[in-house]
Amino acid sequence: MKQPNPITITNARIVTPDGVQEGSLRLEDGKIAAVGYAAASEGESLDARGKLVAPGLVDLGVFAVDKPAFHFGGITRAALMPDQSPMLDLPSRVSYISKSGKPDFWVHPLAAATRGLEGREIAEIALMRDAGARGVSTGRQWIADSGVMLRLLQYAAMLDMPVVTHAEDAALVGEAVATAGEYATRRGLPSAPAEAEAIAIARDLALAGMAGARIHFRQVTTRAGLELVRKAKASGQQITAGVTPAHFMLSDLATAEFRTFARLSPPLRSEDDRQAVREAIADGTIDVIASGHDPRGPEDKRLPFADAEPGMAGAETLLAMTLSLVRDEVIDLPRAFDLVSRNPARLLGVEAGELKAGLEADIALIDADKPWVIQSAKMEASAGNTPFDGQPTQGSVLKLWKGGVEVAL
């Protein structure tokens, strides 16, 4: 799909890493041609009427591709986790997935770190990289065998590929569905200590340091885990960390009525941990906010809390929840789009995620103040299992372009 005509978006509030500036944006041949001022000499012209013009979101670590849901949320690219059926542990599967969303949505596969994601035998990572994989992932699981994890990190470092890992010590977590504490005890839920996260992070940091590898902790959700990340960054280690909106918006109090939409992995944490996540977003310890999009139907969610599958449909609420941090003065707009666009694009090595001349014209026109109510029954995703069901929010995408071509919303 090729951009048919140049487009000039005028009278816009343009979000760049250096700040928000008023001006115009020019799109030509699928690329950003000019930022700040561009004369509408030929082609189409669109008056943004003072609304935000921002890079399309790059969602790092989703479990399903629901294009209508991603487009609703302003997401133009997503890194797909290897936990698929079949697993993304062969080059042929990675190659197929890398072509699956085009032309109006790009999927960047993450290669399975081990065969079948069983944590024992390292998969054909180099071949999967050549087939289109943008990183390596342990999936929903932590690799318990330190020898396997070290070899994986060494191999990934040799290939200059980031390793996206889940951070919970599997032996401590077991079959737990909640974080150990007052609420889990009152409800009689199988629980694991929050320290399971910090223990996993500490080991993986040590191994990544030995291997000289780039490691990304997909979700860091506890104060202790975040402090380890903070110290590792200060020492110069190649580490990035992410989180999903659920862990900066909600605490384990959300499990009070056994609502399985709040059954997540990792589970919701204490209020102190929630506040620690918000502090880490503000001070730069957290690099990426991702949706963790994992839609689950009634057969997985209409069960007792301990039997329900973890996961949430997050693509449609990612932008609005991130903008809530701007309204709460936790971060500013440039930082918000660093978290959901620029940083994940850089981690994946794709030329997008920023409004800069020469990069892909993945663009979102956004009304940051437009109010709406999140309704699980009306979501575009294949299932509407959101813990934010019924919550009023603000921030909506008005128009979306992928490679300079407008996407139907």
Q: Which residue has the tokens 């936790």?
A: 330
Helix (H) or strand (E) holding 242: strand 239-243
Q: Which amino acid would we find at residue 338?
A: D
| Mean pLDDT, residues 312-332 taken together | 98
Q: Is the backbone peptide bond immediately before 103 cis, with ω within 30 degrees of 0?
A: yes
Query: What pLDDT is stored for residue 219 in this prediction?
Result: 98
Query: What pLDDT is stored for residue 172 in this prediction?
Result: 96
Q: Judge whether residue 111 has pLDDT over 80.
A: yes
Query: What pLDDT is stored for residue 40 in this prediction?
Result: 60
- How many Cβ atoms are within 10 Å of 37's Cβ, its own excluded? 12
φ/ψ of residue 148, rounded to 5? -65, -45
Query: What pLDDT is stored for residue 351 in this prediction?
Result: 95
**CA 178, chain centre distance (Å):** 22
Which residues have a Cβ under 8 Å from the Cβ of 272 and sit 6 or more positions away? Answer: 223
Q: Which amino acid would we find at residue 165?
A: T
Bridge-based pairing state of the strands 31-36 and 44-47: unpaired
- How many Cβ atoms are within 10 Å of 162's Cβ, its own excluded? 23
> Regarding predicted confidence, which is higher, 1 or 169?
169
HSE-CB for 317 with a 13 A CA cutoff:
29
Q: Judge whether residue 157 has pLDDT over 90.
A: yes
Helix (H) or strand (E) holding 125: helix 125-130
Confidence class of residue 186 from pLDDT cuts 50, 70 and 90? confident
Q: Judge whether residue 38 has pLDDT over 70.
A: no
| Mean pLDDT, residues 195-222 taken together | 98
Beta bridge partners of 45: 8
For 28-42, 315-329, 336-350, which range has the lowest pLDDT when averaged over its residues?
Answer: 28-42
- How many Cβ atoms are within 10 Å of 145's Cβ, its own excluded? 12
The tokens for 93 are 């599967």
With CA atoms as reference, report the closest residue to 338 among 106, 9, 18.
18
In angstroms, the Cα distances linking 75 to 101, 229, 399 are 12, 27, 11
In the chain, pLDDT over 70 holds for what percent of residues?
A: 99
Instruction: Give the Cα separation of 174 and 62 in Å (integer).
Output: 23
Q: Encode pLDDT of 233-261 as tens digits.
A: 999 999 999 999 999 999 999 887 768 99
In angstroms, the Cα distances linking 254 to 6, 12, 259, 268 are 48, 38, 8, 8
Q: Is 197 exposed, middle or buried (0-12, 13-18, 19+ CB in 10 A)?
A: buried
Q: Is the backbone peptide bond immediately before 310 cis, with ω within 30 degrees of 0?
A: no
φ/ψ of residue 310, rounded to 5? -75, 160
Cα distance from N-terminal residue to C-terminal residue, the chain: 17
Q: Which residue has the tokens 């008056």?
A: 47
Q: Is 42 exposed, middle or buried (0-12, 13-18, 19+ CB in 10 A)?
A: exposed
Confidence class of residue 15 from pLDDT cuts 50, 70 and 90? very high
The tokens for 247 are 């862990």
Q: Encode pLDDT of 190-205 as tens digits.
A: 999 999 999 999 999 9
| Mean pLDDT, residues 169-173 taken together | 96
> Domain 56-349+371-391 adopts which CATH fold?
TIM Barrel (3.20.20)
For 27-41, 45-59, 292-306, which range has the lowest pLDDT when averaged over its residues?
Answer: 27-41
Every domain of the chain and the residues it spans: 56-349+371-391
Mean per-residue pLDDT of the chain: 95
Confidence class of residue 42 from pLDDT cuts 50, 70 and 90? confident
Q: Encode pLDDT of 65-90 as tens digits.
A: 999 999 999 999 999 999 999 999 99
- How many Cβ atoms are within 10 Å of 337's Cβ, its own excluded? 30
Single pTM value for the model: 0.96
Query: What pLDDT is stored for residue 259 in this prediction?
Result: 83
Q: Judge whether residue 39 has pLDDT over 70.
A: no
Query: What pLDDT is stored for residue 334 in this prediction?
Result: 98
Beta bridge partners of 25: 9, 35
| Mean pLDDT, residues 30-37 taken together | 91
